[in-house]
Amino acid sequence: MRFALPQVLWLLLLVPLLGAFLVWAWRTKERLIGQFVQSRLLAQLTVGVSKTRQQVRLGLLVSAVAFAVLAMARPQWGFSWEEVSQKGLDIVVAIDTSRSMLAADIPPNRLERAKFAALDLMKLAKNDRLGLVAFAGSSFLQCPLTLDEEAFRQSVVALDVNIIPQGGTAIAETIQTALAAFKEGENHKILVLLTDGEDHEDGAVAAAKSAAEKGLRIFTIGIGSADGELIRVRDEKGKLDFLKDDSGNVVKSKLNETLLQQIAGASGGFYLNLRGANTMDVLYERGLAPLPKSEFNAKLMQRYHERFYWPLGIAIVLLVLEMFLPERQKVRRPAAPASPSPAPLAKAASLALLLAVTHAHGSSAEALKQYEAGKYTAALKEYDRLRRAKPEDARLAFNAGAAAYQARQFEDAARHFSSATGARDPKLAQSAFYNLGNAQFQAGDAASQPQEKREAWESAINFYNTALQLRPDDADAKHNREFVQRKLEELKQQQDKQQSKDNQDQKPDDKKDDQNKDQQKKDEQKQDKSGQDQKQGDKKSEEQKKSDEQKKQPSDGSKPDEQKPQPQPGEQKQPEQKKPSEQAGKQKNGQKGEQGDKDAAQAAALGQMTAQQAMQLLDSQRSEERALIFLPTNATQRANNRIYKNW
């Protein structure tokens, strides 16, 4: 046994609540009847009423609801094998699982949105066979073409960025893998490509044209944004970090709409951007539904037999029993007089009506008594209670507003007076508008902010105007309106004076700021002038140095380094001094004899490189050395010059 709609069974949790509610309502009804009708009269009115039958009727009603819920869940047991023949399309969905799909420019990320879109397409293509291809640096067939929606759904849910070990994006290889998923001789081959279009290999457009010649039509769905987004991945410790390339630069993945449009155009499809919630609806209605569908036979499928009519029939029977089961039992009564007098019953009914009227008038009178005694808060509570029983009574609203006004609760007073303005009695409505203006004035007078005062008094003037429209000869309304207008004008004048005073106080500060700015400019000019003077002094000192050096040079034009000390009589002759470049070479290569110097001179004469020059060349080349990146061999990797990108 199984249920076609098991989620409906959650409604069974409401059945006990329904039973508890019916029992509570039944007991409340019994209690209220006991309060309203005297016990002696109640016994006469309920002769033969069985509480047991009432409880049975409640049980029948609750049971009928429970069986109705079971019928809604569509119970099924027993099945038969059927071979279903239907018409549909063959659709292969290819989803990009490279690391660039982890970009969150489309929340939660590109890969999750692609998976949601594939599941939406599955719901639309109920009569079509669906297949799934996952691709990154390589591609493989995740789910062959099938009518089993659950198998396709599980294959889509299992996709992640680690499902393909080789990173990168190879769209051309994906098209070839999808084309191989179709059988020979089948028509209407469709490929839905969900990717950001960041292809790391060439030949995608050429592969699309070649596949179109074999009957494949490609529809591309772009996922991402043209501005791009940084890619965040988890390291070995589980910490989020930005993905970087081999040079250490942060990778930013962008949507390549141009490439996707070219692929779709080369194969007779079209391109859509996955932005809104109905992208897949547009794809199916405009692109897939108009295509001619081929007829194919599905495998044997289990067709379960519906059994919902059994619980539905039981629910109907229980409702009929509850409807026709009487609450009264048949009781034999003594013979009554020929013409019974209805006087006692009429008397009791009259008494009950009198009590109800007296109770209502007594409550209103009690509130009025408390109002006249100065207990305005208690009167307000009583009027509020009466208003809850009769919310449409405008007089109760007016009285509640008067009590709140006297209790200096002006917000409550305005609320009650506002409810009384809709009274059918014009006098009562005019009085409500008049008192509403009074309440607004008092609320504004108690406000601490000038803007709140102004708004409240302007509202009060509007209410006085409305009251005068209903009754032009109301002298009190005219007087109060003029009084509030004067107060409002005084408030506006005070605000204008305060604003002008603030502006005057602000002007000296502005002057000080201007003075400070002028002083700052003068200081900067002085600094610039001193800097120029210093530069001129430095320039003069340099010129002075040059002139001194020129004076020190000999008259024959030779340099100081080229002069050789002449031996003096009786002194030992000193060796020649080397130039700075020769001294540096001596420090690097060690001491050399005269024979080494002669060899270097001979090598330079012959145009050959000396050992010292070779060492300098090797040192300069070391700065350009880079580490060799080792890439693992993969059977699916092509033997071409691919630039390896792991995203």
Concatenating the DSSP letter of every residue in 14-57 gives: HHHHHHHHHHHHHHHHHHHHHHHS-HHHHHHHTTTB-HHHHHHH
Point out which residues pair with 229 in neighbouring strands. 253
Q: Mean pLDDT over residues 491-496, rounded?
A: 84
Q: Please give the span between the terminal C-alpha atoms of the chain, in angstroms, as a whole number.
A: 49
Q: How far apart are CA 635 and CA 645, in angstroms?
A: 17
% of the chain with per-residue pLDDT over 70: 68
Confidence at residue 559, expressed as pLDDT on a 0 to 100 scale: 37
Phi, psi torsion values for 2, nearest 5 degrees = -150, 165
Q: How far apart are CA 118 and CA 95, in angstroms?
A: 8
Top-confidence residue, 44 or 89: 89
Sign of the alpha-carbon torsion through 555, 558, 561, 562: negative
Ranges 423-437, 563-577, 598-612, most confident: 423-437
Confidence at residue 394, expressed as pLDDT on a 0 to 100 scale: 81
Confidence at residue 514, expressed as pLDDT on a 0 to 100 scale: 57
**Cβ distance 367 to 384 under 8 Å?**
no
pTM assigned to the model: 0.39
Q: Which CATH class is domain 359-493?
A: mainly alpha
3-state helix, strand and coil shares in percent for the chain, rounded to the nearest 5: 55, 15, 30
Cis check: omega of the bond before 108, within 30 degrees of 0: yes
**Cβ distance 419 to 394 under 8 Å?**
yes
Q: How far apart are CA 442 and CA 460, in angstroms?
A: 9
pLDDT in tens, 350-375: 333 333 333 334 467 777 877 888 88
Q: How far apart are CA 217 and CA 189, in angstroms?
A: 6
**Cβ distance 273 to 257 under 8 Å?**
yes
Phi, psi torsion values for 258, nearest 5 degrees = -60, -45
CATH of domain 82-301: 3.40.50.410
Q: How far apart are CA 466 and CA 460, in angstroms?
A: 10
Least confident of 81-85, 432-436, 602-606: 602-606
Top-confidence residue, 401 or 82: 401
**For residue 383, pLDDT beyond 60:** yes
Q: To the nearest 10°, the Cα dihedral for 53, 59, 65, 71?
A: -110
Confidence at residue 386, expressed as pLDDT on a 0 to 100 scale: 83
Q: How far apart are CA 609 and CA 128, in angstroms?
A: 77
**C-alpha separations of 491 from 267, 480, 501, 530 in Å:** 77, 16, 15, 59
Confidence at residue 641, expressed as pLDDT on a 0 to 100 scale: 47
Domain segments of the chain: what residues?
A: 2-74+313-324, 82-301, 359-493
Confidence at residue 264, expressed as pLDDT on a 0 to 100 scale: 94
Confidence at residue 608, expressed as pLDDT on a 0 to 100 scale: 64
